[in-house]
Each structure stands twice: as C-alpha cells, then as structure tokens.
Structure 1
Amino acid sequence: MSTSDSEPAADTRTLELRLSERIERDIMSAAYAPGEWLREQDLAVRYGASRPSVREALRTVAQSGFVEIQPWRGAQVILLAHEELLQLTLLMEDAYALCAELTARKADAAVGEELRQKLSELEVAAEGGGDRSEVYRLSFAIGRRIGLAAHSRHAFRQLVQAGNLVLWQHRLIRPGDSQTDAQSLNAYRVLISAVERGQPQAAAAAARLVIILMRDLFCQEPARIV
C-alpha cells in the first residue's frame, strides 16, 4: 500500500516523517531482516540524516509496529509470532469491511473506474504467473484505494497500519498458489462490483472474504522466511 495515493502535490511532511516512511519501505523490501538491530549512527550515515532525526523517525516506525525500541540498544525489527500475524488479519478484516461498506455508500463513477483498472492489473499479474510480490502489491493497492474512498480516518489508519505489516509478512512468507489466487480474484471482482453498484453489505462481505482467504493461507503455512 503505497503512501502516494494520499500525499499532497507539495510534500509538507517533516524530515522525520519522510525518514520513517523510508525506513518502513526498506523493512518491507527486506533490506532489514526480522530480528536485525537498527543503530542510530548506522542509519544516520545510510540516510544522510542527523541522529536526533533518526531517533524521532524510529519512534514513528515503532508506533507503526515494525520495530521495538530497546533502551541503550537501539531499535530491533520485530519478529512476528504466527498468532500475532493472525490477530493482525482480524484487525484488518474489520477495517477493510468497514471501508468497503462506506465506499459502496458514497463512491462515484471515477472511483469505480479506478478500481476496475487496478483489478485488470491484478488479473494480469495473478494469471500471468509472475512475481508474487507484485500480486500482493496490487491487491493491497486496491484495498488502499477503497480505504481512501471511505473517507474515514480511523478506519483507513487501522487498515493501512495492519495492512502494511501483513503485506510485509506476505512478502517474507510468500504463500499461495494458482487456486487461492483464483479465489482471491473472484472475491475482488465481487467487491468492486458491489462498490460500483452501491451495495454496502455485499461490499463488506466480499472485503471480509478477501482477508479470510489470506488468513487461511497463513493458517496453513506458519511463518517461513524465504
């Protein structure tokens, strides 16, 4: 779920916020491994920032759930237990269902067209047997767009925070096969159709199914770093 969907044309974010987002992106792209220690001095050199800026950025990253800060030792990239990962999908399911319901109530044709385009890209990636990380990225891009269209800050924030952590684990574990991809695609088709038709309950149910299918994969295949 890229942050670009909601960023203003002029970047008014603070240096620390931009730095925290970069650290999170690097964690999600496996530049830092689960359990790895992130030292302020090393990060300051890597990102060309001051140690105070790095310290503040790490606090934001910790609030997002990617690291734990240990006094006098630094920040450590979290090791998510299998049960914690499943709990995250439960939070994500509730947030996604609420966002889908709200979006179906208020979305206009432009949102529907954008979702259709993203769905087409997802279908090409999933049915083409390409890079699975691209399938995950496109799936979460659909979720983020639905979250933005819901115009609920609380639900969107919960969806993005839980979603980023789950997307990260998706990339590390890389579960799934052609059968589960087909099931997920069908769920996305139903979800987007319900949004376009203004069917809140159907949209919420389809959103829940998307996350349930994801959770089933995690249940079948406990954490396995590749």
Structure 2
Amino acid sequence: MFTGIIEELGEVRAVDHAQDAATLTVSGPQVTSDASHGDSIAVDGVCLTVTAHGSGWFSADVMAETLHRSTLGSLVPGSRVNLERAMPSSGRFGGHIVQGHIDGVVEVESITPAEKWTVVRLRAPHRLSRYLAEKGSVALNGVSLTISAISTEPAQDWFEISLIPTTLAATNLGGLAVDDQLNVEVDVIAKYLERLGSVEVAR
C-alpha cells in the first residue's frame, strides 16, 4: 500500500520488451537505498515488484495487462517517473490510501497557470467519472491529489486539480502538456461502497 507522496523522480534506464511483457530498469537512489528482491515500488502509480537491483537502480517485470491499462507501455529510456516505496507499518498517511492498481488513464485537456498554483483539467473515461467527487481524493501518476472542481454536466467527464509549486517541482506533473496521458487510480473507498450497494440490491 502507498500514500501518494512521491519520494523522488526517477529515470527509466532501459525497457526490454518481450512478447507479452516488458522489463523496466529505473534509476532511483532514494527508493533503492534499502531495496530487497520482492519489494514493492510504485512507478508512476503502478505497483511493481523489484526483481533485481543494484547501486541506485532496480528492475521490475510488467505484464501485458499493465502495459495496456497504464502509461507504462509508452515509457522509453530517459522518461522521468514518479517513485514511491510501499508504506511501512510504522509510516504516516501523508496522502490517502493508494493501492498502486491503476484504473485507467486520463488526458490533459487544459493547463491554466496562476500566481500560486496551476489548474489542470483532465478528461476522464466515462466509466470512472462516478467515482470522482469534488474535494475527494484521486491519484495521478501516483501523486495523491484533491479534486478541486468537477463537471456537473452528464455529457462532460472532466475534473480539475490544482498543483502547488512543490508538487510541480517534485513530480513529473511539472512537465505536463495538453493531451498528455496520466495513470489514474480512483479512491478505493468509492469502489467498495458501490460494490456493497450492488450486493445489497441483489439480496
């Protein structure tokens, strides 16, 4: 489990593609400082398992399902990625409950800089819109964020986030451009509430 507080910006060293999978090798001195085989590290919000590691780097296998559902399939050597180690049992929730299980991708519709923050509007898949709520939590590329505005029109599936300078500097959200795609994980509590409601109706 993660909290959406990015520890460092890593860099993709290599992407080795196989028929239905890929192996990512990523530089990340901080997240690998205590890494062991089998540890979990979130790469742009995707929970991956360390299969090899060395001084300042680690490798992880990515299956076809993950490559298709997330943006990891578009990574190339030199790509900058957000990194976070799994939260220890003695850790503190700085963000919100993030599982590292990506629900899909969203696209940047507009970017509006302001004096103290930057507002980013994103287009969401219709199937995910019901899990988004104004002032609710969402993880984008693994970053825990608060939804600052959301469409009230049924035909428009957009939401907005407001990024402070610290977030722009410490994560790869600082390099966003219109039409960029981001990994999205909606609040797991919303999904469980929906599931519980459907079970009760079925009874």
Q: TM-score, normalised by structure 1?
A: 0.27
Bigger CA radius of gyration: 1
Larger % of strand: which? Answer: 2
Larger % of helix: which? Answer: 1
